A and B are shown apart, each in its own frame.
Chain A
Amino acid sequence: GNSVTQMEGPVTLSEEAFLTINCTYTATGYPSLFWYVQYPGEGLQLLLKATKADDKGSNKGFEATYRKETTSFHLEKGSVQVSDSAVYFCALEGNTGRRALTFGSGTRLQVQP
Chain B
Amino acid sequence: DVKVTQSSRYLVKRTGEKVFLECVQDMDHENMFWYRQDPGLGLRLIYFSYDVKMKEKGDIPEGYSVSREKKERFSLILESASTNQTSMYLCASRSGTGGGYTFGSGTRLTVV
Interface residues of A in 73-113 (CB under 8 A from B): 89, 91, 98-106
Give the number of residue pairs across the A-B interface with Cβ within 8 Å: 41
Give A106 to B37 CA distance when docked, in angstroms.
10
Give A13 to B56 CA distance when docked, in angstroms.
41
Number of B residues with CB within 8 Å of any CB on chain A: 21
For A106, what are the chain B residues with a Cβ–Cβ distance below 8 Å? Answer: 39-40, 42
For A45, what are the chain B residues with a Cβ–Cβ distance below 8 Å? Answer: 103
| Cβ contacts B25-68/A at 8 Å (1 or 0 each) | 00000010101000111111100100000001010000000000
Query: Chain B interface mostly helix, strand, loop or mixed?
Result: strand
Question: Is A40 an interface position by the 8 A CB rule?
Answer: no
Check if A44 sits within 8 Å of B33, measured CB to CB: no
Assess A89 versus B43: contact at CB under 8 Å? Given A44-B90, A100-B33, A100-B58: yes
Number of A residues with CB within 8 Å of any CB on chain B: 18
* Chain A residue with the shortest CB-CB distance to B58: A100
Check if A46 sits within 8 Å of B42, measured CB to CB: no
For B105, what are the chain A residues with a Cβ–Cβ distance below 8 Å? Answer: 42-43
For B48, what are the chain A residues with a Cβ–Cβ distance below 8 Å? Answer: 100
- Extra pairs beyond A44-B103, A89-B42 (6, CB < 8 Å): A43-B106, A89-B43, A100-B33, A102-B45, A103-B42, A104-B42
